Amino acid sequence: MINMAKAEHILKCQQAAAEIRRDIIEMAYAAGNLGAHLGGSLSMAEILAALYIGTAKFDRNNLEWEERDRIILSKGHAALAFYPALAQAEILEKDELHTFKKNGSRLSGHPSLNGLPGIEYASGSLGQGLSLGVGVCLALRKKNNLSSRVFVLMGDGECDEGSVWEAAASASHFQLNQLVAIIDRNHIQYDGETSRVMSMEPMPEKWKSFGWDAQEVDGHNTGALLDAYGIKGSKPLAIIADTVKGKGISFMEGNCRFHNSRLSEAQYQQAVAELGDGL
Amino acid sequence: MIEVTPKNTRIWSRLGPSGALGIAALELAETSPDMVMLTADLSFFSGLERFKERYPDRLYNFGIAEQNMVGAAGGLAKEGFLPFVSTYASFATSRCADQVRVNMSYMKLPIKLIGLTSGFGAGILGATHMSIEDIAVMRSLPNITVISPADGTEIIKCMLAAAGSEEPTYIRLTGAMNTPVIYKEDYDFQIGKSVELISGNEVCMVATGSMVYESLEAAKLLNEKGISCSVINMHTIKPLDSEMLDKVIHSHNLIVTVEEHSEVGGLGGAVAEYMVAHHFDVRLEIIGIKDFFPHAGDYRYQLEQSGLTAYQICERIEKLL
């Protein structure tokens, strides 16, 4: 028998993911010739929706609440998905999304500590978020806060960075079981397929060999993501979310040209039509 | 509570910069409940053996992985802790430059980064372990305070001061074991406030770190030749003490900066930038390490190769007059 509450929860996440995708297209089109990191943002819609809707603990009226879960966007170029997710979580006013990448906007191309609510850390230089997560987990333990979890959102291309593996080794060494790395495994980086640019296969075995639990999951299945986020064990947890770069827009799916790209009017119209109004 | 007495200053001098660091860490553990120490397989080398024994849960050893250590310090700092991070200066700054840039400079997370054996302190190990560019690297990054203490006492005092400041701070340790004592008695140490150690009216040496002692010795030699010298301990390179600079630029004919650092971008560069911007018509000489990697060798040999002994500094200044 399907748990109705869970089914509703999954539906809410799917709705949020659909909204995030529509926002991504609107924001990218509004950014005009500045372009936007479309591919790796569209791939994260469900990952972010399932995290912010019903998984992560936070208090939108007290964002510094000690018991909150910490969310660190290590793949900062997915700001284009992150800001709409913050809007879905009602941490950020949706009206502000259209300022993305505008001069003087708080919604810069990569998150910055410029007063925007819900941003714990600035990012943009890849391979650094997991180390921050290690430090946060050490701090939480010292504060005897053993309930908060620390989610670090990373890219699969980002895992090329050596500092990721320094952090991974230290997380298991320090037994940081409050740490969760969510890897958006969309299989494409700037220059092409990850397997061709720099293969990090086998990805789950790499994390396991560094002393982590590793869970592979369909990164577009919100139910599966919610289940994965619920796993709590004695080790740090790597959730390897298998996704499609550019998910949801036919001409962007699996196309590395849309890693960071502008949208023409025709492309914008087609993308809007493909996404429609529903899920 | 630490007391600055002639006896203690002698002990701290004998222990060398790492020993002084260890003493300061023990003091900070008592006075700053949020203070934690981070090291990259250098707890022994950083003089932290006693700290480790006494406060095992406040020392994090990250292994030989400096970039991760600096990033983790960022997380600890954001969560309200006071992380002091130490490793060889060249690894703390150049190797981790991007982590330093993002965490300390861009996000202004109040990490206190300590560069061990800067300059030639580990020069016997070759150029990989020399740090002749760290002032240039660190002072070019916004929002970071850069301090280079002159002796063991000043190491302790600047670490205590850094703990009381909200600013991301880099502390550059120079000199070998048995560091010469500059301060035998207690004095007022303030970040950004230099100290006039000798007052003269012809040549003003503005020195930092290990070169404060060599400059004091050079001043003695010059005095014997009838040349009146001032010596300023410019322990804080950023923010630069412009008030002191204004004063000495007006009252001397020649300003000489002296540092165990490259002549490119260090204290000399900082003073030159200030003087150019303020159009002072006073001559400036920058004494530091020439733009090259010196051969490995012991500490005095390194100083001699670079013309940084008191006698060589004296000779160079004499030729300018």
Partners of B59 in the β-ladder: B37
Sequence-ordered list of residues with C-beta below 8 angstroms from that of A95, at least 6 positions apart, any chain? none
Please give the model's pTM, rounded to 2 decimal places: 0.97
Fold topology of B6-172: Rossmann fold (3.40.50)
- Determine the Cα–Cα distance for residues B101 and B86; give it in Å rounded to an integer: 16
Nearest Cα of chain B lies from the Cα of A108 at a distance, in angstroms, of 14
Fold topology of B195-320: Rossmann fold (3.40.50)
Q: Mean pLDDT over residues A250-279, rounded? A: 93
Place of tokens 């001098």: B13
Coil, helix or strand for A131? Answer: helix
pLDDT at B177 over 90: no
Of B73, B77, B121, the C-alpha closest to B96 is B73
The Cβ of residue A165 has, within 10 Å, a number of other Cβ atoms equal to 19
Q: Mean pLDDT over residues B189-195, rounded? A: 98
Q: Mean pLDDT over residues A72-81, rounded? A: 98
- Determine the Cα–Cα distance for residues B176 and B92; give it in Å rounded to an integer: 18
When the pLDDT of each residue in chain A is averaged and rounded to a whole number, the result is 96
pLDDT at B132 over 80: yes
Q: Mean pLDDT over residues B206-226, rounded? A: 98
Q: Mean pLDDT over residues A140-161, rounded? A: 98
pLDDT at A2: 60
pLDDT at B317 over 80: yes
Residues present in chain A in total: 279
Give B-chain residues touching A162 at CB under 8 angstroms. 67
- Determine the Cα–Cα distance for residues B89 and B82; give it in Å rounded to an integer: 20
Question: B199: part of which helix (H) or strand (E)?
Answer: none
pLDDT tens sequence across B289-306: 999 999 999 999 999 999
| Best mutation target, B55, B64, B79, B105, to test chain A (most A CBs within 10 A) | B79
pLDDT at B114: 98
Nearest Cα of chain A lies from the Cα of B53 at a distance, in angstroms, of 18
What secondary structure letter does DSSP report for A212?
A: -
| B66 classed as catalytic | yes
* A244 at interface of B, judged by CB pairs closer than 8 A: no
Burial class (CB in 10 A: 0-12, 13-18, 19+), A110: middle
* B73 at interface of A, judged by CB pairs closer than 8 A: yes
* B102 at interface of A, judged by CB pairs closer than 8 A: yes
pLDDT at A1 over 60: no
pLDDT at B7: 92
Question: A1: part of which helix (H) or strand (E)?
Answer: none
- Determine the Cα–Cα distance for residues A186 and A260; give it in Å rounded to an integer: 14
The Cβ of residue A257 has, within 10 Å, a number of other Cβ atoms equal to 13
* A169 at interface of B, judged by CB pairs closer than 8 A: yes
Partners of B115 in the β-ladder: B87, B172
When the pLDDT of each residue in chain B is averaged and rounded to a whole number, the result is 96
pLDDT at A4 over 90: no
Instruction: Give the domain CATH number at A255.
Output: 3.40.50.970
Of A256, A232, A231, A234, the C-alpha closest to A246 is A256
Q: Mean pLDDT over residues A203-223, rounded? A: 98
pLDDT tens sequence across A158-199: 999 999 999 999 999 999 999 999 999 999 999 999 999 999
Q: Could you tell me the two tokens for B91?
A: 């690894």
- Cβ contact (<8 Å) for B65 and A170? yes
- Determine the Cα–Cα distance for residues B95 and B89; give it in Å rounded to an integer: 9
Nearest-5° Cα angle at B227, B224 to B232: 105
Say which amino acid occupies B188: D
**Contact A85/A79 with Cβ under 8 angstroms?**
no
Place of tokens 């502390």: B171
- Cβ contact (<8 Å) for A132 and B72? yes
Nearest Cα of chain B lies from the Cα of A86 at a distance, in angstroms, of 20
pLDDT at A196: 96
pLDDT at A244 over 80: yes
Q: Mean pLDDT over residues B164-180, rounded? A: 94
**Overall domain count for chain A:** 1
* pLDDT confidence band for B44 (50 / 70 / 90): confident
| Best mutation target, A170, A172, A174, to test chain B (most B CBs within 10 A) | A170
Q: Mean pLDDT over residues B32-53, rounded? A: 94
pLDDT at B202 over 90: yes
- Determine the Cα–Cα distance for residues B67 and B64; give it in Å rounded to an integer: 9
**Contact A165/A85 with Cβ under 8 angstroms?**
no
Nearest Cα of chain B lies from the Cα of A26 at a distance, in angstroms, of 29
pLDDT at A168: 98
Give the end-to-end CA distance of chain A in Å, rounded to a whole number: 24
Bridging pattern class, strands A237-242 and B203-207: unpaired
Sequence-ordered list of residues with C-beta below 8 angstroms from that of A221, at least 6 positions apart, any chain? A46
Nearest-5° Cα angle at B270, B111 to B13: 60
DSSP-assigned letters across all residues of A132-191: HHHHHHHHHHHTT--S--EEEEEETGGGGSHHHHHHHHHHHHTT-TTEEEEEEE-SEETT
Quote the crossing angle between the two packed helices B152-163 and B6-31, to the nearest 10°.
20
* pLDDT confidence band for B165 (50 / 70 / 90): very high
Coil, helix or strand for A91? Answer: coil
Q: Is the peptide bond before A202 cis (omega within 30 degrees of 0)?
A: yes
pLDDT at B162: 98
Q: CB-CB: which of A125, A142, A143 is closest to B98?
A: A125
- Binning chain B into helix, strand and coil, the percentages to the nearest 5 are 45, 20, 35
pLDDT at B154 over 70: yes
Q: Among the options B66, B133, B154, B260, which is catalytic?
A: B66
Boundaries of every domain in chain B: 6-172, 195-320
- Determine the Cα–Cα distance for residues B39 and B48; give it in Å rounded to an integer: 9
Give B-chain residues touching A137 at CB under 8 angstroms. 75
B143: left (phi over 0), alpha (psi -120 to 50) or beta: left
Q: Mean pLDDT over residues A15-40, rounded? A: 96
Instruction: Quote the ipTM score.
Output: 0.96
Coil, helix or strand for B207? Answer: strand
pLDDT at B115: 98
Domain that holds residue A52: 4-275
pLDDT at A109 over 70: yes
pLDDT at B63: 98
* pLDDT confidence band for A49 (50 / 70 / 90): very high
* B106 at interface of A, judged by CB pairs closer than 8 A: yes
Q: Mean pLDDT over residues A256-277, rounded? A: 94
* pLDDT confidence band for B92 (50 / 70 / 90): very high
Sequence-ordered list of residues with C-beta below 8 angstroms from that of A86, at least 6 positions apart, any chain? A52, A92, A117, A118
